Amino acid sequence: MADSWTFAVARDDLGRTTVVAGATPQIRPGEALLRVERVGLTANNVTYAVLGESMRYWQFFPAEPRGLSPEWGLAPLWGFAEVVESAAPGVEVGMRVYGYLPPAGHLVVRPERVDPTGFRDGSAHRADLPSPYNVYRSTANDAAYRADQEDLLVLYRPLFFTSFMLADQVIDNDFYGARQLVLSSASSKTAYAAAFELRGRGPRLIGLTSPGNVAFTRSLGSYDDVLPYDEAADLEAVPTVYLDLSGAPATRVALREHLGELLVRDIAVGLTNQIPNADAAGEVFFAPVQMRKRRQDWGRDGLDQRFADAWRRFADAAGAWLEVRAGAGPEDLRRFWLDVYHGRSEPRTGHIVRF
């Protein structure tokens, strides 16, 4: 019975998309079936697709078992899902979870390490992929969950985790001795959430963004100053850390020429304009690495509590910055994907799709 669906993008052309119908997957002993309920779509999801080959994001939700040829890929999304069938001990039908989901109606998981907080997907094809992406948290026992903040959680939580760990790494290294931190793509959710965490705790925070986004980015109050990209060479010549979230080569060149040895760290965090920035940067930030360090330092519960505390502070502010654009069904998911991919989405807008 064709009562499920899958949205896919062409791996070699992310603007080419398809929606295909399919039968609801059948589960085997030890598995559970999740019905995808609500997902968010941001530039971060496009990043997963851009880095689908190099960072193995295509491997989380293979296209071939869903009847698609290898030319297609499933870009991972974050959101909420409900357990609708279960043959896994400890995982009950009706359990609601937050986690990494396919752009599809259903997902089969093989729950492991089941406890009151949720479970991990132990499916064989995900065994050697980064473990934070395999965790499904029960909404009933999640310190960061609030029912009235589900849209914020869908849109910001995965980004905020990166922001939280990025800020923590910078603080953990005593700001690398810098007197100012410069963040590119300053209007992006990941950048201004990191700035929110860093504000007032050390060096001055300078945001760089496109001219059209300067006013919005200044209105957030996360930065000490916000400049358009073409004024990057006007920064004060003091020891500086550059946190690059845009991947724009011209900005890196301008900062290196202007600051020289005063550019004490050049760290690639991600990308929002589909230009990989890892190769040109001095180093790359990957959130799971800092997460593993802090789990050793603080323990799992300690890390979860610190994240939840930081999330509450941020969520109280972020609600005023966000305009939710809501949709329903796979066709709206396709429409929102194309808007974000082609840069037609305003920084204040968050896309939510319910199924």
pLDDT tens for each residue of 296-332: 999 988 998 999 999 999 998 988 888 899 999 999 9
* pLDDT at residue number 89: 97
User: Cα–Cα distances in Å, from 331 out to 6, 328, 334?
Assistant: 11, 8, 5
pLDDT value for 277 = 58
**Residue 346: its pLDDT value, please?**
84
Domain ranges of the chain: 4-142+322-354, 158-288
Confidence band, pLDDT 50/70/90 cuts, at residue 273: very low
pLDDT bucket at 278, cuts 50 / 70 / 90: low
Residue 5 has pLDDT above 50, yes or no: yes
What are the φ and ψ backbone dihedral angles of 315, each rounded to 5 degrees?
Answer: -60, -35
Q: How far apart are CA 227 and CA 236, in angstroms?
A: 12
Query: In whole angstroms, what is the distance from residue 206 CA to residue 208 CA?
Result: 7
User: Residue 38 — φ and ψ, nearest 5°?
Assistant: -150, 130
- Whether pLDDT at 7 is above 50: yes
| Cα Dmax for the chain | 65
Whole-number Å distance between alpha carbons of 148 and 222 = 24
What six digits make up the tokens of 213? 């986004």
| Averaged pLDDT score across all residues of the chain | 92
pLDDT per residue over 137-165, tens digit each? 999 999 889 999 999 999 999 889 999 99
φ, ψ dihedrals at 7, nearest 5°: -105, 130
CATH number for the domain formed by residue range(s) 158-288: 3.40.50.720
Assess whether pLDDT exceeds 80 at residue 270: no
- For residue 276, pLDDT beyond 70: no
Q: Is 59 left (phi over 0), alpha (psi -120 to 50) or beta?
A: alpha
Task: Report the chain's terminal Cα–Cα distance, integer Å.
Answer: 18
The CATH classification number of 4-142+322-354 equals 3.90.180.10
**pTM for this entry:** 0.84
d(CA 323, CA 254): 34
pLDDT at 275: 43
